[in-house]
Structure 1
Amino acid sequence: MAESAEDISGVGPTSPGRSYSYQRYIDGPDPLAEPRDLRRELERIGRDVMEGASARQALRELLRQGSKHRQGLDDLARRVNAQRRKLQGNHRVDGTLQEVRGLLEQALHQEREALVSQNTDDARFREFQLDALPGDTGSAVKELSNYDFISAEAQQSFDQIQQLLGREMLDQLFAGMKAALEHATPADIDSVRLMLTDLSALLADYAAGTDTPDQFRTFMADHGAHFPEDPSSVSDLVDLLAARAAAAEGMMRSLTADQRAELSQLSQQALGDSSLADSLATLDRQLKNLRPGEKWNGSANFKGHTPMGLGEATRAMEELARLDDLAHQLAQDYPGATLADIDHQSLENALGRGAAQALSDLAELERELLAQGLLQRGPDGTLQLSPKAIRKLGESILRDVAKSVGNRQGERDTRRSGAAGEPTGASRPWAFGDTHAWNVPRTLLNAQLRQAGGDQRTLDVADVEIIETEQRTRAAVVLLVDTSWSMVQDGRWVPMKRTVLALHQLISTRFRSDALQVITFGRSARRIELSELIGLEGAHVQGTNLHHGLLLAGEHLAKHPDAMPVVLVVTDGEPTAHLEGRSGVVFSYPPLSETLTATITELDKLTARRAAITFFALGEDPRLIEFMDSMARRCGGRLVAPDLDGLGAEVLADYLRNRTRT
């Protein structure tokens, strides 16, 4: 057994004298650990869904924003973009040109010093040649390639230009070549030229589909030292080289037009002839044909002060491309995007292990939401809040609303709610405050069993059992919620949904025998399930058809004739629509007299059922308050004008008040 600093020794119960050692479970997550508490995350997702987002959009927003103790994708993307700006802001890509210019000035200075000491016509003629050199570096180097230097130091400086250009050009495509060829012999240069020839032949066969694994293995055996990345196939090799070639082209595009022309001319002098430039140009064409999808038209605005050579600048362009890809992956703004698309290793390379861990935390959060059953796939494959999530969301909202209800709630303990009802045949131990009838046989039996074998015949409070009774009353509850456009426009949409969730949670957990029906009414009314209401989006349609809503409410109450009828109406506007013959909707603003008459007729029908009706008028429209007050007076109901923050508390308090009335 593995060693542990927290081992606990013990004795096995079936093998006396044999010791056992116990330690923490270390093979992955603790299988007995409590599930991760995701209440805050669920509340954020639920809030966004109630505001009209899909569950997928809400989850994406959560992952983007993160939380107080967890970096989100936006935080990581900002850091990636900052890294990109830093790279561009600190460097410039004309380092090779500057270095070549410096060596050229050094060579000319050394040559002139040597000529000054010679008092000959040839020396004066050479000085004239040097003075007549073109002003641009590329043309000057080209003319000097045929010049016979008098100064050995000047010749050496000029040779360094040609060697530097060759090493830099090779370093663009083959990382590390600049350093490897710094003290190259002619044999080393010939080896590089042979590698370029063999590589071009390999790529040509690959393009034609005639390459073989043996051909690749032979190539790597001969030239593998130039590819420390150790590609495993021709395809991998092409991917590697194409990415670098594209970065090199992007680097060239980042230069000015004059700088590009200068470098193009200088490239013909690399290693003292144009063969290297020609070979690299051939490879470039082959790679473009093999990987046309690479970013061949990229560029970047480098505006810093630290110069970079061609190879270094090309790698900087590669880094920018990686950062761009990473930013795109972190944005998750393309179809089918998932956290699995984000390259963990690239993120760690760019921002460090902490960033990679933050991404892992986000992925774990997404997995937990699915593993705990809070999110699920619908029949069409879309992500949805699960019934479990809706229930937990309701619990959270109910807790918040209950704080506002305070001491106004009139609910009774469900165990005592049926004290005057019919016996169920079951009994339970007496508790302080119980007024139910005793179950005498069970009480005496408990006392006898407790004193078995003794002569005493005493009765203890622990022996008492009381008769359980059925709940005498149940309620048929209708919650009518206005879904007209003004509810969305004036910010009442989410408070309305939170109210429905809180009431549903209260009824489903504390008064399960009650029958709740949620009915929405806009231009028309309809019965709606809780899961549908949560994701319901506001429609830009005018109309407040309370008439239709009351009609559907009456149908629900008719299905439960033995239940106490309770009707709760939440609205921010007077009726402006009604049904005619249940076949069509008539809308008018200001309201028609026919609309008001139809609405009052349905209200009277509910009044005849002795329904407890409460109107919750939202907003400060005096005309609405006046109309709703007249409606409440007509049916003997109540009018409440809550603010948005208190809507849920008022609705729950009113339901509980009606729930406990006789």
Structure 2
Amino acid sequence: MSGFRYGEYDDGPDPLRAPYDARAALDELGRSVMSGARPSQALRDLLRRGTRGLAGLDGLRERIRERGRRLRSQGRLDGTLSEARRLLDQAVGQERAALFPDPGDEARLRERELDELPSDASAAIRRLAGYQWRSDAARATFDQLRDLLRREVLDSRFLGMKQALENGSPEDLRRVAAMLDALNAMLEADDRGEHTPADFDRFMAEYGDLFPDRPRDLAELVDSLARRSAAAQRVLDSLTPEQRAELDALGRQAMEEAGLSESMERLGRALRARRPDLAWSGGQPMTGDQGLGMGDATTAVAELAELAELEAALGQDYAGAGLDDVDPEAVRRALGQSAVDDVERLRELERQLRDQGYLSGSRTGLELTPKAVRRLGETALREVFPAPSRGRPGGHESTAVGAAGEPTGSSRPWRFGDEQPLDVVRTLANAASRGGGPGGRTRLRPEDFEVAETERRDAAAVCLLVDLSYSMVLRGLWEPAKRTAMALHALATTRFPQDAVRVIGFNDYARELKPGELAGLSLERVQGTNLQHALVLAGRHLDRHPEFEPIVLVITDGEPTAHLERDGTSRFEYPPTRRTTESTLAEVDRMTRRGARLNVFMLADDPRLEEFVSALVGRNGGRTLRPSPDRLGAFVVDEFLSRRRTR
């Protein structure tokens, strides 16, 4: 029997990993939304910082920066120039050593010629191109210098060319020249619209070994060559003006001697024309003691440019940004397969938030769905009031049947709009009593459905008035107030579905806030605390439900500073005028006549607020509560439940 070996799974993401917890991710996203962030910004922040057991984009960006720091410390960019000067000095020294023992005039003339060589390496090499070397060692060193320049210049434009031309045979150079001619011809044919994929396949069949990155089509080949050519230019731009001029002259001379100068210039112009968006200029600072050759320096600068692009894509700081902009191959080259898996898991998390119905809309117009808002409300309720007692029934029972409460054991025919649970047994019994259909199957009809009757509970008309003035923002009360409102709404709509609940926000004006609006409510730099307008809207809600128990809760951190004029415009004055106070208390009196008691949650120790609330409670008979911001939600929910228990 053959044996088995077990080891760590390394072929992509772990197929046995725990499923994505989209609900926990939504809760984290919701906390940002509650703090005033737009859903799109909240999602971007979530993906950047990561979530439980899942690395975020910021962690990947830090790894990118660290790799960039290591690359920049690899060495100096003038390695080829330094090596060229060293070989030139070595060749001249070897030649001098061969001439010194010779007492003849020819040897002195040659020494004088060597003495008059220009200090510029490219000019000196050009002058020595026709020199008749006396020393075989000097000639070999000079040939090594010329071969070095050819290979480094070509390697700075074609990755791996230095290794391909390691032998430096004439046949190798002729093949490179043929490749350049074929490449230029293919690009020109593409400009005329005559290029075909078959042309590219034939090109790669003949010269594919010169392109180790194995491009799949002409576009990939152009992109690779253009990026490397741009990086080579940036290597030159990183040198001093003197070094740049000297190295550029050395490269041009090397290409002229190899017969490749014209072909290389044609290719360079074509690449620039096709990719003008690349960074074709600008220096790249490098540190380190070791000098890098042109090919290695170009590779380092090209990789740094790719890392910069990747870091920008991971940053997601531009309009319309999305994880689809992150190139998995670039991530793999920079950080390895594990980083690719991290990005894919973030993509999957974003997909799950959409697929499970929590997010909708485009990247820029992202919205929380009603399902997400319900989840955020439930989460807020758990956080502000973790375990409401099961002993609190939440309402008075009556013998009439209704839409909420404990089942009575009986049922009735279903009517359109019913939300009670179906009585499955009676529904199926009704269908079965008609007899089986074709093939003995039981078919359901609308008249078969019955719903379970439940004990009716008294309903309440609930109004939560939330101060949204800018002072709430300055005091750090904005988020606790929003979270409290969502928690109360979730409690009332889930445990007391028969209740009519309204959340009313007020600053200079008041307005009703739907749960979705409340979750995504952004900060407003608005002056004014128009409690009068909020009470007007609350009164209209109570008037629409005269048979319901009225419950009005007010959350505020300041006395009223605005009221509505007769023409409906808001008037703000600070300190508050007598007119504002009187207008607000007039609405309090109307609430009192409706039988609604106002419970006020004071969030600031302010003498003016104390004086106003005392007057309000004295006229209305409500209560004053002074919770800390972190206990606001628990106070409001507990007060609501106590009001639902006792009328």
TM range, normalised to the smaller chain? 0.7 to 0.9
Deviation string 1:103-138 (CA, Å, 9 cap, x unpaired) is 112211211111112111111121122222222222
- Alignment partner of 1:633 is 2:618: yes
Distance 1:50 1:536 in 2: 8
Moved more, 574-583 or 596-605: 574-583
Matched residue SS, 1:299:
coil
Q: Matched residues in 2 for 1:426 and 1:290: separation? A: 74
Q: Which amino acid aligns with 1:349?
A: R
The Cα shift of 1:252 comes to: 1.4
User: 2:462 aligns to what SS in structure 1?
Assistant: strand
The Cα of 1:603 is off from its aligned counterpart by 0.7
Q: Is the 8 A contact 2:397 2:458 kept in 1?
A: no
User: 1:604 is matched by which residue type in structure 2?
Assistant: D
- Confirm or deny that 1:399 pairs with 2:382: yes
Match of 2:517 in 1: 532
1:401 and 1:648 in contact (8 A); partners too = yes
Correspondence for 2:122 among 128, 138, 151: 138
Provide Cα deviations, 1:279-333, integer angstroms capped at 9, x if missing partner.
Answer: 3223212322233233212431112222221111112222112111211110112
* Residue-by-residue CA offset, 1:265-285 (whole Å, 9 max, x unaligned): 222442782633343223212
Tell me, what secondary structure is at the counterpart of 1:92?
Answer: coil
Alignment of 1:410-421 (within 5 A): 412-413=392-393, 417-421=395-399
Residue of structure 2 aligned with 1:344, choices 316, 320, 328: 328
Q: Distance in 1 between matches of 2:198 and 2:555?
A: 79
How far the C-alpha of 1:491 sits from its partner, in A, is: 1.1
Measure how far apart 1:574 and its partner are: 0.9
Contact 2:29–2:42 (Cα < 8 Å) also in 1: yes
CA RMSD of aligned residues (A): 2.9
Report the CA distance shift for 1:215/1:578 in structure 2 as closer, same or farther (over 3 A). Answer: closer
Asked if the contact 2:381/2:491 (under 8 Å) is kept, the reply is yes
* Mapping of residues 298-447 of structure 1, within 5 Å: 298-377=282-361, 382-403=365-386, 412-413=392-393, 417-422=395-400, 427-428=408-409
2:581 is equivalent to residue 596 of structure 1? yes
Equivalent-residue separation in structure 1 for 2:106 and 2:324 (angstroms)? 72
Q: TM-score, normalised by structure 2?
A: 0.86
Distance 2:309 2:32 in 1: 29
What does the per-residue CA deviation read over 1:182-222, in whole Å, with 9 as the maximum and x for residues that have no partner? 22322322232233333333333333444455654554454
Please say if residues 155 and 295 of structure 2, whose CA atoms lie closer than 8 Å, have aligned partners that are also in contact: yes
- 2:166 is aligned to 182
Q: Does 1:242 align with 2:226?
A: yes
Distance in 2 (alpha carbons) for counterparts of 1:70 and 1:139: 59
Task: Name the aligned partner's letter for residue 401 of structure 1.
Answer: V
1:197 to 175, 181, 186: 181
Task: Report the equivalent of 1:497.
Answer: 482
CA distance in 1, matches of 2:409, 2:205: 86
Question: Aligned letter for 1:82?
Answer: E
The aligned length equals: 595
1:289 equivalent to 2:270? Answer no
Partner of residue 93, structure 2? 109
> Please, which of 495, 507, 511 is the counterpart of residue 496 of structure 2?
511
Letter in 1 for 2:160: G
Query: Secondary structure of 2:521's partner?
Result: coil
Please show how residues 580-619 of structure 1 align to structure 2 within 5 Å.
580-581=565-566, 583-619=568-604
Contact persistence 2:38–2:522 (CA under 8 A): no
Segments of structure 2 that go 5 or more residues without pairing to the other structure are 7-12, 411-451
SS of the aligned residue for 1:158 comes to helix
Residues in 1 aligned to 2:489 and 2:226: alpha-carbon distance in whole angstroms: 61
Identity %: 45
Q: Report the secondary structure of 1:164's partner residue.
A: helix
Equivalent of 1:651 in 633, 636, 639: 636
Distance 1:506 1:610 in 2: 23
Match runs of 1:223-242 below 5 Å: 223-242=207-226
TM superposition shift of 1:347: 0.9
- The residue type equivalent to 2:165 in the other structure is L
For the Cα contact (< 8 Å) 2:233–2:281, is it kept in 1?
yes
**2:68: which partner in 1?**
84
Asked if the contact 1:484/1:538 (under 8 Å) is kept, the reply is no
- Aligned pair in 2 of structure 1 residues 387, 324: CA closer, same or farther (>3 Å)? same
The 3 A distance-change label for structure 1 pair 217 and 41 is: closer
Provide, for residues 530-551 of structure 1, a one-character-per-residue CA deviation record: whole Å limited to 9, x for no partner: 1111111232221111111111
How far did residue 616 of structure 1 move? 0.9
Counterpart code for 1:580: E
**Which whole-Å deviations, capped at 9, do the CAs of 1:332-373 have from their partners, x for residues lacking one?**
122221111111121122112221121122111111111221
Structure 2 residue matching 1:540: 3-state secondary structure: coil
Query: Per-residue deviation at 1:39?
Result: 3.8
Which ranges of structure 1 fall in alignment gaps of 5 or more residues?
A: 7-26, 430-466
Q: CA deviation at 1:165?
A: 0.8
Give the distance between the partners of 1:649 and 1:149, measured in 2 at CA: 96
The residue aligned with 1:40 is: 24
Query: In structure 2, how many angstroms separate the alpha carbons of the residues matched to 1:661 and 1:653?
Result: 12
Number of the residue aligned with 1:457: none
The match for 2:531 is 546
More displaced stretch, 156-165 vs 91-100: 91-100
Q: Aligned letter for 1:207?
A: D
Q: CA–CA distance in 2 between the matches of 1:254 and 1:426?
A: 81
Deviations 1:76-112 (A, max 9, x none): 0111111112101222211111221221122112111
Task: Check the 8 A contact 1:162/1:271 in 2, yes or no.
Answer: no
- The question of whether the paired residues in 2 share the 8 Å contact of 1:410 and 1:653 is answered with no
